[in-house]
Amino acid sequence: MKKTVFIFILSTLSLVKAQTHRFFYEVKYKEDSAQAQHQKAFTVLDINPDETKYYDYTFLEKDSLNKINGSQNTNWTAQIPITRKKSGSKNINFAYAGEQLYSYPTEDVLQWKLTEETQKIANFNVQKATTNFGGRKWTAWFTKEILFSEGPYKFRGLPGLIVSLEDSQNQFSFNLIKSKKLDKTYDTKNILEVRYGDKPLNISERIFIQKSLEYYDDPYQEDRANLKKGNTIIEIEGKQYTNPNDLLPLIKSEQEYIRKHNNPIELNKAIKYPLK
């Protein structure tokens, strides 16, 4: 596990008073398992009095702009946001199937194996733990110096905060880079629990997979239907279309993209998209 330089200022006393304890992680990941280089993102772990939320840092950037402009726009990224109740293993997942945002619950219990191996990462004394989760083998380094049994994404349940985490195939890694405390519980309802002012549809994970397959089967179904009605011009990426059959190359291209970028954190839940 590579060591990461942390920009981190935190005291035990400050943990007692703050309403939101916010931890920032650098995430390196591969949406396509065959790609040579990792993509990089920054994510946020908010530990609140009653719940924990994990989401992309760009949500915070958009939230600042929304407050200035009085809008409700939000970004969405490859990092699936997660919320869960305090000390709970039931996660609420927020994900897209096409243009529709859904939320669905999953029960995610991790069985950790603690080792005696320790080291120093930045200024933290950390201990090694391993687990199998989502079809991958994971190694975590956690510190008892920060007594939150939490970590990025769905990783929790250790006797201290996860500082660094990586899977055995080097497809995903999470490294803590800094933290801050907020005097009030941070409200995310306009950036996480909604999109453009609309709440997600609450469904089951099984239905979400079904909706994802339906979108994959015809990504431009709505546009094709509108073109079939006639007297309609649809513009996609600067090009105008009047014939529904002209969208067939776009459909093939989108399907190929979906199949290629199908390397989720939970590999055992990768949707099996048929070759079209």
Q: What is the pLDDT of residues 153-179, one digit of tens each?
A: 999 999 999 999 999 999 999 999 999
The better pLDDT of the pair 78, 178 is held by 178
User: Domains of the chain, with CATH numbers?
Assistant: 12-182 (2.50.20), 218-269 (no CATH)
Residue 148 has pLDDT above 80, yes or no: yes
Residue 133: which of 149, 113, 147, 163 has the closest Cα?
113
Computed from CA positions of residues 164, 170, 172, 178, in that sequence, does the dihedral angle turn out positive or negative? Answer: positive
Q: What angle do CA 12, 18, 21 make, to 5 degrees?
A: 80
Rounded Cα gap, residues 51 and 64, in angstroms: 22
pLDDT score, position 59: 87
Average pLDDT over residues 238-265: 93
Average pLDDT over residues 91-102: 93
Cβ-proximal residues to 100 (8 Å cutoff; 6+ apart), any chain: 201, 211
- 204-246 pLDDT per residue, tens: 999 999 999 999 999 999 888 888 887 688 888 889 988 889 9
pLDDT score, position 78: 73
Residue 91: CB atoms within 10 Å: 21
Q: Are 132 and 138 in contact (CB under 8 A)?
A: yes
pTM exceeding 0.75: yes
